Copies of this chain bind each other. A is one copy, B any other.
Amino acid sequence: MRTPEQYRAGLAKMRPNLYIGGEKVGRDDPRILPGINVMAVTFEIAQDEKWKGVATATSAYTGKEVNRWAHTPQHPYDLMQKQKMIRLGAQRVGGCIQRCMGHDAITALSISTKEIDDKYGTEYNKRFVDWLSWYQDNDLCAACAQTDMKGDRTKRPSEQVEPGQYVHVDEVTDEGIYVSGCKVCITMAAYADEILVLPTRAMLEGDADWAVAFAIPADDPGIKQVVRPVWLHERKEIESPFCQYGVSDSMIIFDRTFIPKERVFMCREWEFGRRMAMLFADSHRHSYCGCKPAVSDVILGATLLAAEANNIQKVSHVREKMSEYALGSELAFAAGVAAAMYGEKTASGTFFPNAIFANVGRRLMGENIYHEYNMLTEIAGGLAVTMPFEEDFMNPDTKPYMDKYIVRNPKLSSEESHRIWRFVENVSASAMTSWYQIAGVHGGGSPIMETIALNIDYDYNARRNVARYLAGIDKELDQSAELMRQPTFGCNLMQPEPFGDA
C-alpha cells in the first residue's frame, strides 16, 4: 500500500486537465492542496499497524492485503469495519474523508457487472475484476462520477434539449466507445487517480445510449475538469489541523472522449440503469452511516469547546442539546450496523448492506445537519462571525485588548480561548460550513431521495395486512415474511469467539 508521499508523488506526474478560476492548472495548484491533504490521511491510516483490519482488508480477488477503500465487502463484518474506518478518518480530518465514493462505486460495479453478464453473456465482470486487481495492487484512489447535470428535471435523458445534460455513448467501435456530456458535483476528482463513471438514474429503452459505465484516468486529456475548490483561511500564527483540510468538486466535461473497451463496464444495457444507480447510492448511504456521525462528532466537539469557553457547559439547555447530537449520531451509526447484519450476499460474492436500514440512517442525518449547526450557534453565540481577524490579535496596538477580552472562562488561557473561537468560526461560519451544510443535505442523495427509496422498497403491505387483520377484515395474519428474516451470516452470534481473526 502506498504511503502519503507516494500518493503525492503520483499526483505530480499527472497531465494537467484542471481549470480553476479561469486558468488551466496542474495538481500542484495550492487551491486543491487542502483536498489532497485529506486524501493523504487515508493512506497514512492504512500504514498504521493499529488500524490493520480496520483500514485494511484481504482482497476477495487477489487474496492480498489491500487498502479497505479498494476492497469489495464480503460479509457483515466488512461493512461494520468500513463504518469504523470512515468515522475514524472523518474525525481525523474534521469531516468528509472523500474516499468512500470510489469504494461505493467499486461495490456497485462488482455486483452489477456480474448481473449484466449473467443475463447477457457479456464480459463486463472480467474487465472490471482485471481493472480492480490493478487498482488494488497500485493502491489507487478513485472518484465516482455519478451525478449528471440533469437539465430539465421533468424530462428523461433522451428528452433533453441538450443531450449532454446526461453523459452518453456517441459511438461504439471495436476498440472502445466515444462518450459526451457533463457530470457535476464530483467530489475529489481533481486529485483522484481514476474516475469511475456510472449512470445516475433509471432508464427506459429510448435512453439506452445514456446507460453507460466506465473507468477513466482522472488526468485523461480527453476530459476537462472545471474545479470548484473550497478551503479555509490560512492561519498566520495559530495553525491547526482543521485548517489544512478542504475539498474540491469538479464539473467533468466529456466531448467525444474515447474509452478503450477494457475499461467499459456497461454500454446500453438500459434495464440495469436503475440497479447500478441504486447499488452505488445504497452503498454510499451505508457509508454515510459512518461519516455523518463523525461530522456530528466534530460539530458536537465544537459545541463542547464553545460551551466550555462560555463556562455554560453544565447549564440544563446546553446539556439537552448535547444529547441531541448523540441521539442523531448513534441512531445513524446503528442503522449502519443493522444494514450490515441484515445485508445480503450477491451473486458476485460482494456483500451488500440492507437498503432500508441504509436509507433511514442517511435520511436522518440529511434532515439533521442544519439543526446541528443551529445548536452549535445557539450555544456559541455570535463571536464566530464577529471576532476580529487573526492579524488583530498580532497587531501590538490591539493585541493586549484582544488577549485580555477573549478570555471568558478564566480557566482557559488567551491562546486556548482564541483557538477555540477560531475553531468554532471554522466549523460554523466558513466556506467549509456552507459546503458541509449543502453536502450534508445532498451528498449521497438528499432526504427526498431516501423518501422515494423507502416508498419503493419498504414493505407497506405487511403493515396494511396487520391493520386489516386487527380491523377484522382479514381472518388470518401472516407475519413471517419480515419477522422470520435472518441475518445470512454468523450463527456464532451465539458463541463467544474473539473477533477479527477468522
Contacts and interface: CB of A to CB of B under 8 A. Distances in A.
Given A19-B397, A408-B149, A361 B386 contact: no
A298 interface: yes
B228 A360 contact: no
A76 interface: yes
A341 B335 contact: no
Given A77-B491, A385-B434, A489-B493, 18 more contacts: A22-B389, A22-B392, A77-B493, A80-B341, A91-B466, A147-B382, A240-B470, A301-B467, A304-B463, A305-B467, A305-B468, A327-B360, A327-B363, A327-B454, A330-B335, A331-B361, A486-B500, A491-B492
A121 interface: no
A302 B471 CA distance: 9
Nearest to A306: B467
A251 B22 contact: no
A497 B486 contact: no
Nearest to A408: B151
Contact of A304 (B385, B423, B464, B483): B464
Given A75-B493, A226-B388, A337-B341, A322 B455 contact: yes
B162 A405 contact: yes
Nearest to A184: B386
Contact of A419 (B150, B405, B446, B472): B472
Interface stretch (A138-146, A270-278, A435-443): A435-443
A6 interface: no
A457 to B, nearest CB: 9
A359 to B, nearest CB: 9
Contacts of A347: none
A249 to B, nearest CB: 4
Given A239-B472, A385-B439, A473-B416, A317 B448 contact: yes
A397 B21 CA distance: 12
A131 interface: no
A134 interface: no
A402 B226 CA distance: 9
Given A19-B398, A154-B311, A401-B253, A230 B385 contact: yes
A331 B335 contact: yes
A34 interface: no
A471 B331 contact: no
A439 B228 CA distance: 27
A268 interface: no
Contacts of A455: 319, 322-323
Interface string A1-44: 00000000000000000011111100000000000000000000
Given A330-B356, A483-B88, A405 B251 contact: yes
A60 to B, nearest CB: 12
A419 B422 CA distance: 33
13 contacts: A24-B397, A54-B484, A77-B493, A147-B382, A228-B388, A316-B316, A323-B455, A331-B334, A333-B338, A334-B339, A489-B495, A490-B499, A492-B502
A496 B489 contact: yes
Interface in A215-272: 224, 226-228, 230, 238-242, 249, 251, 253, 255
Nearest to A395: B22
B487 A491 contact: no
A477 B240 CA distance: 13
A317 B337 CA distance: 30
Interface in A378-429: 378, 381-389, 391-392, 394-395, 397-398, 401-402, 404-405, 407-410, 416, 419-420, 422-423, 428-429
Contact of A423 (B410, B470, B500): B470
Nearest to A304: B464
Contacts of A407: 151, 162
A327 B453 CA distance: 11
A50 B480 contact: yes
